[in-house]
Amino acid sequence: MTEPEQLKRSIGFPLLTLYGLGTILGAGIYVLIGKVAALSGMYAPLSFLFAAVLAGFSGYCYAALSSRFPKSAGEAAYIEAAFGIKQLSRLVGWMVILTGVVSAATIANGFVGYLNQFIIVPEFLAITIMLSLMCGIACWGVNQSVMLAAIVTGLELGGLLLVLVFSGSSLADLPSRFHELVPPLSDGGIWFSILLGAFLAFYAFIGFEDMVNMAEEVKNPEKTIPKAILTALFISSILYMLIALTAMMEMPLQALQQSTAPMTDILKHKSELAGIAISLISLVAVVNGALVQIIMGSRVLYGMSKQGLAPAAFSRVHKDFKTPVIATLIIGLVVWLFAVSFPLTTLAMITSFIIIAVFLLVNISLIQVLRKEGKVPEKAISIQPWVPYIASGLCLFFLGIQFYQVLSNGSISGH
């Protein structure tokens, strides 16, 4: 009997960090900043700040767990280790896959807005061609996929720096306009809008959790994954705050709220050439986001299959490509169905809702894991016991805000 094909360990710290940054930076800041401004108004930077705090606490919990359980099934493996309840692990695994699917569908929607800057293509056709290409690359090989994602991440970083170079001078006005960016503490309605904006802005930080699902393809995963998660979150948080502040300083609020290609609109009145450059970079960034989400979803499906939490066919690895081709194709098909069925803001809100629920369960599982272990395992990173409690409380708070919004408006669309 031949041994089943295994995934190949070929990813180090720099490549994994760039992969994670690519997932985080993708559609979030390039597509959603105008949508966040539609909810929070001039206070959008505060929404991004609150979202960064939530991401930071949960990211630290993920880093601690990934150093203890370096497995492709990620969240499902953590919850299995903490509670030993297979049904709960299976549920969380499917929830993670769903977030990858819905997130990739969100990104595919954002792709159309930037593509229309160059050529008008029917939305259905544009989404279908783009997702077909990304599925093909994801099937081809993990090294090729992650290397491409890393190269594109360099472009994404360059694009954000381009915005700061051309428009960052407006940050000089920040001291005189600071009062416009901070509401009075007594205005509960405005603060509620800021928190709703933070819930949507949190979508821009989603991606660090994808890194743990590459565990079986990472060298020295116990050390590499935690370090890469925290590095990617730190860099993205700084960039998001700078870009959000620049957008508020540069563009009239109403124009930003209505923009389908916000990075282009920020730059094009400064330089036509810079506007074209950022449109191209944004287009590639959005495509990159879809690629890494498809890779993530297929790896979770693969990991769940190996643990007996999903059909065995999904754990088959192609003998030449060394990738889970069946799992990848299934994920790509479901992404396409979501992308052609729902609008961008609705998809982003759904993604944030599901992933925060998953984060809550993961943070609680860390509490349980820390209770069980007598001392910190040899290769694991240490974490203060109160951190997962704070992280869990923040998740509950954000979920409560969105529940209240849904009950008030009967919608999760954010409008």
Q: Render 78-140 in DSSP notation, one character per residue.
A: HHHHHH--HHHHHHHHHHHHHHHHHHHHHHHHHHHHHHTTT----HHHHHHHHHHHHHHHHHH
Distances 97 to 54, 142, 297 between C-alpha atoms, Å: 21, 18, 5
Check pLDDT > 80 for residue 95: yes
- Consecutive H or E run containing 46: helix 44-68
Check pLDDT > 70 for residue 279: yes
Residue 358 structure tokens: 């998953």
Q: Which residues have C-beta within 8 Å of that of residue 107, sequence separation ≥ 6?
A: 26, 27, 31, 286, 287, 289, 290, 293
Q: Which residue shows structure tokens 């993708």?
A: 26
Burial code of 320-338, b = ≥16 C-beta within 10 A, e = fewer?
Answer: ebbbbbbbbbbbbebbbeb
Q: Which residue shows structure tokens 């159309």?
A: 112
CA angle 190–106–352, rounded 5-degree value = 45
DSSP secondary structure of 133-178: HHHHHHHH-HHHHHHHHHHHHHHHHHHHHHHHHHHGGGGGGHHHHH
Check pLDDT > 70 for residue 289: yes
Q: Which one has a higher pLDDT value, 64 or 75?
A: 64
**pLDDT reported for residue 414:** 43
**pLDDT reported for residue 177:** 85
**pLDDT reported for residue 394:** 94
Q: What pLDDT, in 10s, does the model give residues 319-352?
A: 777 788 888 899 989 889 988 888 777 777 788 8
Give me the residue spans of the domains in the chain.
14-409
Q: What pLDDT, in 10s, does the model give residues 139-181?
A: 876 666 667 777 877 887 888 888 888 887 888 888 888 888 8
Q: Which one has a higher pLDDT value, 48 or 324?
A: 48
**pLDDT reported for residue 73:** 67
* Mean pLDDT of the residues in the chain: 83
Check pLDDT > 90 for residue 387: yes
Check pLDDT > 70 for residue 6: no
Q: Give residue 413's pLDDT band: very low, low, confident or very high (50, 70, 90).
A: very low
Contact 59, 208 (CB under 8 A): yes
DSSP secondary structure of 206-272: TTGGGGGGGGGGBSSHHHHHHHHHHHHHHHHHHHHHHHHHHHHHHS-HHHHHH-SSHHHHHHHTT-H
CATH fold of 14-409 reads: Amino acid/polyamine transporter I (1.20.1740)
Residue 152 structure tokens: 């594109």
Q: What pLDDT, in 10s, does the model give residues 306-317?
A: 878 888 888 888
**Which is nearest to 28 in space by CA: 150, 149, 110, 130?**
110
Check pLDDT > 70 for residue 254: yes
Full-model pTM: 0.79
Q: Give residue 362's pLDDT band: very low, low, confident or very high (50, 70, 90).
A: very high
